[in-house]
Structure 1
Amino acid sequence: MELLASLVPLALSLSLACLVATIGMQASWEDLVSVFRQPRRLGAAVLAVNVAVPAAAVLLLAAVPVAPAAKAGVLLMAAAPAPPLTAFRPLHIENHRAYAFGLYFALIALAVVAVPLTVSLLARFYGVDVDLSVGALAGNVALTVMLPLGVGMLVRRLAPGLVGRIDEWVGNIAVLLLVIAFFPVPVMLLPAIESLAGDGTLLVMGLVAAAGLAAGHLLGGADPTERRVLAVTAANRHPGIALIIATANGADPDVFAAILGVFLIGAVTSGVYERWVSRRPVPVHGGPG
């Protein structure tokens, strides 16, 4: 069991690193910094991802009393933005790659400041002490995001012909590692996961994800696809960042179960939202001809 507990975070970290490397192979530097160069888009993203979701989590947890460990897991995920899955999913939307990649890069770069600030505010609000090393967080971002991103961009620059042959393989490896990471979870955390089902915790998790979808959809601007990208980005949180904080504070298995529960419910809720959006007719603007 201890071996599984150590392998799950490793497989998850490797999966996310592979996804980031794939982003590096697909994105140019101009794509990555594009949102930084557009203050309105950047402000809307920060408001949807870093403000609306933590605020929704606080309000919902005040309205629906849940176990302390579940509350901690929900709040940690609310403070942890932008898993690379959200930038990887819209790769088929050719005209919106720059926004998807730029949004992810901006949020993960700002996470080094945003996550400690959010965790500090939440800790003060709830009157608890949380051990969070900014250096450790920055090191994790550098190792699991900036390094694989740089490797992917280097491959794109030095061997562009190789990208088309290996990016799909790297993406498939990432998905496989993600499956491996979550396959042992029911065995490891089944009692803890079962305890989340009966007290409203799953409802809170779903509503927090829905709040992220609503905030991103409303703040994503006039373009339907950009609204969709920001909505999915806000609803999905980064389990790696949340697990770092939980591990540093000696969290019990119930907290880890809640973190993974938020991750999975966010993915399911986002899938339902994307299915709904894809069925809606795209409005056509134009004057009389």
Structure 2
Amino acid sequence: MDARDLILLALKCAIAATVFTYGLQATRDDFLYIAHRPGLLLRSLVAMLVIMPLIVVACVYYLDLPQPTAVVLVALAISPVPPLLPRKHKKAGGVAPYGLGLLVVLALVSIVTVPLSAALLDWLFARAMRVAPFALVKIVLTMIIAPLAAGLLVSKLMPRAAHYLLTPVRRVATLLLFAGALVLLAGTWHAIWSATGHWTVLAIVAFVLAGLVVGHSLGGPEPEHASVLALSTASRHPAIALTISAMNFPGEQFAPTLVLYLILCTLLAIPYVKWQRSRSALSSGTP
């Protein structure tokens, strides 16, 4: 295992630990929140699984994108699982149970929808796109389902331990996330800069902005739902996208383009979160 593999392992552990903290705080009502709102659930699935892949198809078809960029965008579009979103949801005034329920639903449906989407895009572009179900199930289980279930189990059987574990686990996860991201960014900076040309930045910006607009529009009329779906639609799981990309084109380097996507997605989400917070403050009468 080289240094790059260790960095990616640290990032995966950070995501799994963060999901574990969600399980420590989640309740049964949190998981039933979205199930009791079938209209919201349907709009959420349409936004993430139908509209966004169609937008990416248009970008790939009309823009002369380099192969790594086109493959990464396609992989992101069919990777519906959003990472680390409940914290962003809270900052944007979103409803935490909706974000948590959506995370679980998308994790489960991705096992079926990702291979189907890859097959459809393979037929549309005459480009070999395949997804090994075992690899996808492994990511979903190890990074979302298992840590979430472990957090729920600890919270149920040992509530006092869950209370004491919450803060230190969250801090360790945050430290791993930022340290791993900074080291990865430093090690791939020149490759990231090289990946910014040939419509790549424009295509990624269009993907993120389209996700925010589509999610916000279909998440309404309640603003607390709109912010959750907007951030979920714009943000996709980099581990799943990297797995799909590397599986189909093992000779290509996709990490720089994915890091560029994460940077641009984070930067573009900041003004949206601030706008939603200001709207929430005005509606509640908070100065």
Instruction: Give the TM-score, by structure 2 length.
Output: 0.90
The CA RMSD over aligned residues, in Å, is 2.3
Against the structure 1 CA distance between its residues 272 and 243, is the aligned structure 2 distance closer, same or farther, given a 3 Å change threshold?
same
Counterpart residue identity of residue 190, structure 1: W
Whether 2:155 is the aligned partner of 1:159: answer no
Residues in 1 aligned to 2:24 and 2:223: alpha-carbon distance in whole angstroms: 26
Write out aligned runs for 1:75-224 (5 A): 75-91=74-90, 96-224=95-223
- Bigger shift: 275-284 or 175-184? 275-284
| CA–CA distance in structure 1, aligned partners of residues 62 and 216 of structure 2 | 24
Q: Match for 1:76: what amino acid?
A: A
- Cα distance in 2 for residues equivalent to 1:68 and 1:37: 42
> After the TM superposition, which residues 20-59 of structure 1 pair with which residues of structure 2 at under 5 Å, given as runs?
20-59=19-58
Relative to structure 1, the CA distance from residue 92 to residue 273 in structure 2 (aligned partners, 3 Å threshold; closer, same or farther) is closer
Aligned residues: 284
1:234 partner letter:
T
Whole-angstrom distance in 1 between the partners of 2:109 and 2:28: 17
Unaligned runs of 5+ in 2: none
Aligned to 2:274: 275
Residues 94 and 227 of structure 2 are in contact (CA less than 8 Å); yes or no, is this contact kept in structure 1? no
* Residue in structure 2 matched with residue 70 of structure 1 by the alignment: 69
1:252 CA drift (Å): 4.2
The CA distance in 2 between the partners of 1:254 and 1:27, in whole Å, is 38
Q: CA 1:223 to 1:282, structure 2 compared with 1: closer, same or farther past 3 Å?
A: farther
Counterpart AA for 2:11: L
Deviation of the 1:139 alpha carbon: 2.3
1:182: Cα distance to partner?
Answer: 1.8
Paired amino acid for 1:143: T
1:227 equivalent to 2:226? Answer yes
Q: CA deviation at 1:183?
A: 2.2
Summarize the Cα distance change of 1:86–1:79 in structure 2 as closer, same or farther, 3 Å threshold. same
Report the 3-state secondary structure (helix = DSSP H, G, I; strand = E; otherwise coil) of the residue aligned with 1:280.
helix
- Give, in whole Å, the separation in 2 of the partners of 1:175 and 1:249: 31
1:138 Cα offset (Å): 1.3
Give the secondary structure class of the aligned counterpart of 1:198.
Answer: coil
User: What is the CA-CA distance between 1:187 and the residue it aligns to?
Assistant: 4.2
How far does residue 168 in structure 1 lie from its aligned partner after superposition? 2.3
Tell me by how many angstroms 1:178 deviates.
Answer: 1.5
How far, CA to CA, are the matches of 2:132 and 2:159 in structure 1? 38
The DSSP-based 3-state class of the residue aligned with 1:244 is helix
Map Cα deviations across residues 58-114 of structure 1 (whole Å, 9 max, x no partner). Answer: 212333322111111121112112333112333578982221211111111111112
Percent identity, please.
27
Normalization by structure 1: what TM-score? 0.89
Distance in 1 (alpha carbons) for counterparts of 2:93 and 2:190: 44
- Separation in 1, partners of 2:252, 2:180: 16
Offset at residue 47 of structure 1 (A): 1.0
Structure 1 unpaired stretches of 5+: none
Query: Is the 2:121–2:129 Cα contact (8 Å) retained in structure 1?
Result: no
Contact 2:24 2:152 in 1 (8 A): yes
